[in-house]
Amino acid sequence: MDHLITDLLNNPKVLETREHMHHSIPKYDHLRRSVKYSARIARMLHADERVCVRAALIHDIDSRAGTLTTHGKIAADWAAAQGECAQVCLAIVSHMFPFGPKPTTREAWVLVLADKAASLGDMKQFVGGLLDGTSMTLRRQLLESDPYYRVKTRRAHKQRLNPKA
């Protein structure tokens, strides 16, 4: 299935997700897990596998620029700006159902299911890492590498050191 997303795997915006935290793991891990489930579910539901895996890999790009209900639109707009087809963008918009718009295509339903399954896998990855100590180390690394959290963490640290400032 990677042959369907090779160009996206090399996109700088996708590559930077290795440094972003999502469910206390690298966002890239969540996106790749979503791709894996999308491919499987697409075959079961006779959906367009290419559309499904492309949508899965980029469905959370720039997710923190929005909210739980709006980040799908933000990612879909980014995808459209990259030249993705309308079907990919349509699937991305509704991936947060039932918190966002209802999916209107088979491919959109595939992404909804794959994203939820991937989130369960994310929890399994994190909890498993708690047992061997890797999760908290990785989480600390992500807090430092992720620009979104790095700013928040430094601000909070400064406030702890100087609460009256």
pLDDT of the residue at 143:
86
Report if residue 160 sits inside a domain. no
Q: Distance between CA 99 and CA 71 in Å, rounded?
A: 11
User: Domain tally for the chain?
Assistant: 1
Q: Looking at this protein, which amino acid is placed at residue 158?
A: K
pLDDT of the residue at 76:
96
Which residues make beta-bridge pairs with 25?
A: 22
pLDDT of the residue at 157:
52
Report if residue 153 sits inside a domain. no
Report if residue 139 sits inside a domain. no
Report if residue 82 sits inside a domain. yes
Low-confidence ranges of the chain (pLDDT < 70): 150-165
**Which domain range does residue 54 map to?**
2-123
Q: Distance between CA 153 and CA 131 in Å, rounded?
A: 25
- Positions of E strands within 10-164: 21-22, 25-26
Chain CA centroid to CA 148, Å: 15
Report if residue 157 sits inside a domain. no
Report if residue 143 sits inside a domain. no
pLDDT of the residue at 90:
97
Collect contacts of 36-40 with beta carbons under 8 A, ≥24 apart.
36/1, 36/118, 37/113, 37/114, 37/117, 37/118, 37/121, 38/110, 38/111, 38/114, 39/1
User: Residue holding tokens 């039932």?
Assistant: 98
From the list 101, 142, 150, 114, the residue with the least C-alpha distance to 30 is 114
Report if residue 110 sits inside a domain. yes
Report if residue 47 sits inside a domain. yes
CATH number of 102's domain: 1.10.3210.10
What global pTM score does this model have? 0.89
Burial label, 131 (beta-carbon count in 10 A; 0-12, 13-18, 19+): exposed
- Cα 23–Cα 45–Cα 37 angle in degrees, nearest 5: 25
